[in-house]
Structure 1
Amino acid sequence: MSIETQVIKDWLKQHQISEVEVLVPDMTGNARGKFIPAHQFLDQGEPRLPESIMVQSVTGEYCDEHWELVEPTDADMLLKPDPATMRVVPWAREPTAQIIHDCYTMGGELHPLSSRSVLRKVLDLYAAEGLRPVVAPEVEFYLVSRNTDPDNVLVPPKGRSGRAETSRMSYSMDAVSEFEDFVEDMYDYAEAQELCVDTLIHENGAAQMEINFLHGDAMELADQVFTFKRTVRETAHKHGVYATFMAKPMQIEPGSALHIHQSIVSVDSGENIFVDEKGEHTAAFLSYIAGLQHYTPELIALYAPNVNSYRRLAPDISAPINLNWGLDNRTTAFRVPQSAAAATRVENRFPGADANPYLAMAATLASGYLGMKRKLQPTAPHQGTANEDDVEVARTLEEGLRTLGDSPEVVEVFGELFLKAYAAVKLDEFEEFNRVISSWEREHLLLQV
């Protein structure tokens, strides 16, 4: 028995686990997998899943290119548990474990269609240079009243006062207290799963909240965001409301983001390579930002993966629309917060809350890596309000997918098969959405064109 297997076996026994959730993040960032009785989990060998689940759309459909992306026989993937992801499921009625698994081909290679494999590949590029990314995600979400009819618009839920929010309550302590029971249970669930959640604030939207995570390893934090989104949804169900990570769930409310703070440290020295001994920004720092500027248009579909995502990326104060960077400037896409020199970092404000956290982190870290490798140079830091400048990114999912994989260096990092599969799945979603006739069209075009 391997050391990892023994660690898992001991952990399951220690927590008296009766059932195991075998989890795999799919291309959309949702959990796929199976339930296995704990006594069978280690005895039956490595679990398997059909690789076709990696190329399903958000609606569960298969794209036209399905059999060009996976084996026509719909071959299995081997799943290998990552002991670092073992957590108790705090909302389960029976003692249940959740374990995130890596996907492998039957030949023993990391599966190229797995989003976790994509992030692992990017992190390996840094490791080969003696570097380690440090990230800190910020996740925004809305609480909304239960909505069982998709034709009805979403509305904020009533809080403990019996009233729904009708005004902007950014950073309001009283507004958070309206949902105190939800917040307490959410923190209890997070603590039970050892999630490194830090600050909770009320954001600008009605019943919109933001959770900040403590900085740490990119894979670990991607796993935690993946787990946290499940946790928030489960907590909301317990309290009779919905939690949504849609990028723009309500027309009159601001969008929800997954901001990613990032810095790079030397493995040998442990020092932040974005600053020198004098505390000044280094050439690596500037090239990293230049990489973000250069590759974001090509990778925007990983930050904004759904048709709804682009409703958030509109001329507005709450989301970026161009590639500017700035010092402590929240209107820019790439913000460098004011901090002590050792904590120098850049915040990528493009990813939406609906993004697959593994792919969003892979995209931002790959962009910075390629910027440093190619010694790209950024624009001057932006002064003033950046959202008064021209729009420089795609405004629809279809437009964003046109440029995905345009450069050979991006294809090399992400893999040609993955980029082809991602584009095929997302274009299928776009075309399905595009067939829906909206109420706006019926209102304004029915009798007037």
Structure 2
Amino acid sequence: MATGNETVKSKDDLVKWLKDHRITEVEVMVSDMAGIARGKILPTKKFISGLTERTLRLPESIFGQTVTGDFIDSDALSDTEPDIILDPDPQTVRVVPWYDEPTAQIICDANYRDGTHVPIAPRNVLKRVLALYEAKGWQPVVAPEIEFFLAAKNIDPDYPLEPPVGTNGRKETARQSYGIDAVNEFDPIFEDMYDFCEAQDLDIDTLIHESGAAQVEINFDHGDPLEIADQAFLFKRTMRQAAMKHGVYATFMAKPYEGEPGSAMHIHQSIVDVNTGENLFSTRQGRDTKLFLSYIAGLQKHLPSAMALIAPNVNSYRRIVRDLAAPINTHWGHENRTVGLRVPEAKRAARRVENRVPGADCNPYLAIAASLACGYIGMVNGLVPTKEMKGNAYESKRYALPRHLLDALDNLRSSSDLKEILGHDFVTVYLDVKYTEHEAYQQVISAWEREHLLLNV
């Protein structure tokens, strides 16, 4: 399973592609726990040498690096900080369209010298889950929808974000869900975004304006989970670069603005029989199959434990609030956007469930892996979902999802099922990274505390 350039399938193809495109530099990269691209930039000649001799290396500890750049101590990491090998996936090679110098980027698998996967690398975690599906003769199909905000440049992090100025010379203040003219206010940015995506073979589909000021959503075409995760990983970087070209920030924070809705990464998912090509979520009469209902039941039961992977930051939980259009529950229903697990109206071949819980700040590899893992557990154990929610799920007073990062981390730590599927070493390192990030967050005094506590308590 690979992505992107279908004509580049081997190392020889890759070398030819680099020469044909007169590439002078190559960015080799992997995703860390936060979804940040980590790697090296090499002259093409040195990259080709490292490719053939497997000398492209990084320390294993990059997967124990926090979003603040600190490194953790973990029982699942070696004290000697050994190197791992970056094995480029040839089909992921793409041009980097925002550079003047001909530059390529390529996503790598993190492996040991003997070729075995580094179990704590996020891309390998997704591969581990997909291997379970493959053993059952199942092929998952996913399609994410990623929301994000545009913001005026913010040099001082203590200062609240503001929407950028559009082509009409005003900052956007009104909420313009699905507004065509509202999107066109930032047309120069999105023209570059589309050009950049086309140059990289990123299969983005629909662009819509969301309900927040300068908030938009991009939909991806459905496809292989690893391919789609690669594309989502690259898209975030691409969108930030397109916006920066116009002096604007693009942010995938789950809740960057006070008083505005948060940003999600909804994941549509279905399962196809490898042998027949049939959608296993729909009967021939167009009804929900038992397997589909078990998949939903798996999401219902295990999403609270997977929450730390799909809502990975302290900021993530500012989005999971009643009346802000984000789910607070694991209810399911047909054509019901108030539930966490929505079944859209669709033809039999497109029967799917939309997991509306993940935030836009998630690591695409880990969010897709976690969602598929929950569904897998439900299917192999024949779980039965709750009764379908017919009404407004927000009227339920009980939060079924954790409301704070520490609660989510504790849930993951206690989940033997997810540890088994995702890998014990991965879960150990991931928890250590997130607990360390939370400790760093606890050292920061917020503006709210200074405003309301400084002279009043």
Measured against the shorter chain, the TM-score band is over 0.9
1:61 is the counterpart of 2:67: no
Matching of residue 29 in structure 1 with residue 64 in structure 2: no
Runs of 4+ in 1 over 3 A off after TM superposition: none
Instruction: State the one-letter code of the partner of 1:8.
Output: L
Match of 1:49 among 51, 54, 58: 58
Aligned to 1:402: 410
The worse-fitting range, judged by mean Cα deviation, of 318-327 and 37-46 is 37-46
Q: How far apart, in 1, do the equivalents of 2:419 and 2:117 lie? A: 17
Match of 2:167 in 1: 160
1:446 aligns with 2:454: yes
After superposition, the C-alpha distances for 1:87-112 in whole angstroms (9 at most, x for unaligned) are 10000121111000000123321001
What pairs with 1:239-254 in structure 2 (closer than 5 Å)? 239-254=246-261
CA distance in 1, matches of 2:70, 2:313: 15
Residue identity matched to 2:60: E
Q: Please give the residue correspondences for 1:128-147 in structure 2 after superposition, counting only pairs within 5 Å.
A: 128-147=135-154
Equivalent positions of 1:143-222 (< 5 A) are 143-222=150-229
Q: Distance in 1 between matches of 2:446 and 2:68?
A: 18
Is the 1:145–1:242 Cα contact (8 Å) retained in structure 2? Answer: yes
Q: How far apart in 1 are the matches of 2:418 and 2:173?
A: 45
Further displaced range: 382-391 or 126-135: 382-391
Shift of 1:3: 6.7
| Structure 2: gaps of 5 or more residues | 1-7
- Would the aligned equivalents of 2:330 and 2:341 in 1 still touch at CA under 8 Å? yes
The one-letter amino acid paired with 1:7 is D
**In 2: Cα distance, 1:14 partner to 1:254 partner:** 46
Equivalent position amino acid for 2:188 in 1: D
Q: C-alpha displacement at 1:387, in angstroms?
A: 1.6
CA deviation map 1:258-314 (0-9, x unaligned): 000000000000110001121111100000000000100111000100110000011
Which digits, 9 at most, give the CA deviation of each residue in 1:148-168, with x for residues without a partner? 100100000000110011111
Q: Structure 1 counterpart of 2:63, which letter?
A: M
User: In structure 1, how many angstroms separate the alpha carbons of the residues matched to 2:418 and 2:451?
Assistant: 43
CA distance in 1, matches of 2:407, 2:322: 17
Whichever residue aligns with residue 144 of structure 1, its letter is A
Q: Is the 8 A contact 2:9 2:90 kept in 1?
A: no
8 Å Cα contact 1:169/1:204 also seen in 2:
yes
* Deviation readout 1:27-51 (Å, 9 max, x if unpaired): 1111000011111212232210000
Return the alpha-carbon distance in structure 2 between the equivalents of residues 448 and 236 of structure 1: 41
Matches within 5 A, 1:45-444: 45-46=53-54, 47-63=56-72, 65-66=73-74, 68-389=75-396, 390-444=398-452
Q: What is the identity percentage for the equivalent residue pairs of Structure 1 and Structure 2?
A: 55
Give the Cα separation in 1 of the matches to 2:450 and 2:395: 32
Equivalent residues of 1:122, 1:413 under 8 A apart? yes
Contact 1:76 1:106 in 2 (8 A): no
Measured in 1, the distance between the counterparts of 2:161 and 2:281 equals 43
Residue 21 of structure 2 is aligned to residue 12 of structure 1: no
Q: Secondary structure at the match of 2:412?
A: coil
1:228 alignment partner AA: F
Root mean square deviation of aligned Cα: 1.2
C-alpha distance in structure 1 between counterparts of 2:347 and 2:116, whole Å: 42
1:447–1:3 distance in 2 versus 1, CA, 3 Å: closer
Q: Which has the higher mean CA deviation after the structures are superposed, 317-326 or 300-309?
A: 317-326
1:444: Cα distance to partner?
2.0
Query: For residues 438 and 208 of structure 2, what CA distance do their matches in structure 1 show?
Result: 33
Contact 2:335 2:345 survives alignment (8 Å): yes
| Contiguous gaps of at least 5 residues in structure 1 | none
The residue matched to 1:286 in structure 2 has which SS? helix
Distance 1:122 1:84 in 2: 21
State the number of aligned residues: 446
Matched residue SS, 1:10: helix
Distance in 2, Cα, partners of 1:447 & 1:79: 54
Identify the range of structure 1 (383-392 vs 220-229) with the bigger mean alpha-carbon deviation: 383-392
